[in-house]
A = this chain, B = another copy of it.
Amino acid sequence: MDRPEPADGASTRARIQQVALELFSERGYEATSLREIAERLGVTKAALYYHFRTKEDIVQSLFEDQLAELDALIAWAESQPPTVETRHEFIRRYADLLQRRGHFKVLQFFQRDQLSMQKHQVGATLRSRLIAVQRLLSPPGTPPVVRLRRSLAIIAIHTAWFGLEDPDFTDDVRREAGLEVALELVE
């Protein structure tokens, strides 16, 4: 199944993914051409097509791991009673998920380029999962103000990671602040 890894470290495939996420995050998916990705990598456009069938395949590969982990987290939460303890534990696990392997970078790109992502299958799927998270925190019948607060709990974690400009904030500060505010919002 796996291709052999070259001795020079990151595989070309992984380097394409890394550079693509960089450029997509700077300019947006639609405004980033395969020529630009290839140039920053020092290869030609045609080389990309050896590793990915289409441009869409590249962006899809960026979301895959994160989507699988999010699916598992949602499945866990749906097996639990809808109590405040479950919501607290969900928030903690969601915050862990985002921090692991820089997953928040993919989510930041998704949030800032939502409209481009909608027309791709992986974008529509991630969107539906985020809606599932909302439904899970706010079952039918939850009053509007409480629903808004619980929506903001998730957004608090996102904002802690990529909504605060201050370069003084360390990863630890962001993590702790996001958790503290999110936990009080799902009370």
Contact = CB atoms under 8 A, between A and B. Distances in A.
Interface of A: 24-28, 30-31, 112-116, 118-119, 131, 134, 144-145, 147-149, 151-152, 155-156, 159-160, 163-166, 169, 173-174, 177-178, 180-181
A20 to B, nearest CB: 14
A156 B147 contact: no
Contacts of A164: 144, 147-148, 151
A165 B159 CA distance: 20
A148 B119 contact: no
A104 to B, nearest CB: 15
Contacts of A134: 165
Contact of A115 (B31, B151, B159, B181): B31
28 contacts: A24-B115, A27-B115, A27-B118, A28-B28, A28-B113, A28-B115, A30-B30, A30-B116, A31-B115, A31-B116, A31-B119, A112-B114, A113-B115, A115-B116, A131-B165, A144-B166, A144-B174, A145-B180, A145-B181, A147-B164, A147-B166, A148-B178, A151-B159, A152-B155, A152-B159, A152-B181, A155-B155, A155-B159
Given A31-B30, A112-B114, A181-B145, A152 B152 contact: yes
Given A30-B31, A151-B163, 20 more contacts: A26-B115, A27-B118, A27-B119, A28-B113, A30-B30, A30-B116, A112-B115, A113-B113, A113-B116, A116-B116, A144-B166, A144-B173, A144-B174, A144-B177, A145-B177, A147-B177, A149-B181, A151-B164, A152-B152, A152-B155
